[in-house]
């Protein structure tokens, strides 16, 4: 596959995604009633990433490739069954489970043991 644009590395996508979701988790724990979309928008804007595809670093990384699927989603590169809208850990309404899933996948990616 030929890259469309050169911006975000795979490691950067993971680091920024985890940083963003650590912040979202903290906001939700503190009682924020803002939607996930609003929180993602806010984090990206406040951290200089207002031009990121869907304010998602996994989507941004995936967009670097000539494909219309999520085949190059960093989460899916670790677990081919990963899907951000999965009912079990949906990023939209299961914030803490989604964060936990990202942490779990990152540990697998880095070869870390629990």
Q: What is the largest CA-CA distance in the chain?
A: 43
With cut-offs at 50, 70 and 90, classify the pLDDT of residue 112. confident
Buried b (16+ CB within 10 A) or exposed e, 17-53: bbebbebbbebbeeeeeeebeebbebbbeeeebeebe
Intra-chain end-to-end CA distance of the chain, in Å = 34
What does the pLDDT look like over 56-107, one tens digit per residue? 999 999 999 877 789 999 999 999 999 999 999 999 999 999 999 999 999 9
CA 27 centroid distance within chain: 16
Domain map (residue ranges) of the chain: 10-110
What does the pLDDT look like over 20-34, one tens digit per residue? 999 999 999 999 999
């Amino acid at each position: 596959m030929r890259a469309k644009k050169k911006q975000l590395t795979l490691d950067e996508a993971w680091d920024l995604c985890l940083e963003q979701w650590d912040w979202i988790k903290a906001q939700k724990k503190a009682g924020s009633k803002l939607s996930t979309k609003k929180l993602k928008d806010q984090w990206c804007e406040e951290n200089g990433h207002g031009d990121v595809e869907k304010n998602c670093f996994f989507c941004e990384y995936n967009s670097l490739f000539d494909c219309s699927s999520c085949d190059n989603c960093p989460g899916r590169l670790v677990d081919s069954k990963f899907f951000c809208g999965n009912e079990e850990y949906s990023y939209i309404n299961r914030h803490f489970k989604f964060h936990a899933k990202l942490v779990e996948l990152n540990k697998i990616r880095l070869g870390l043991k629990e």
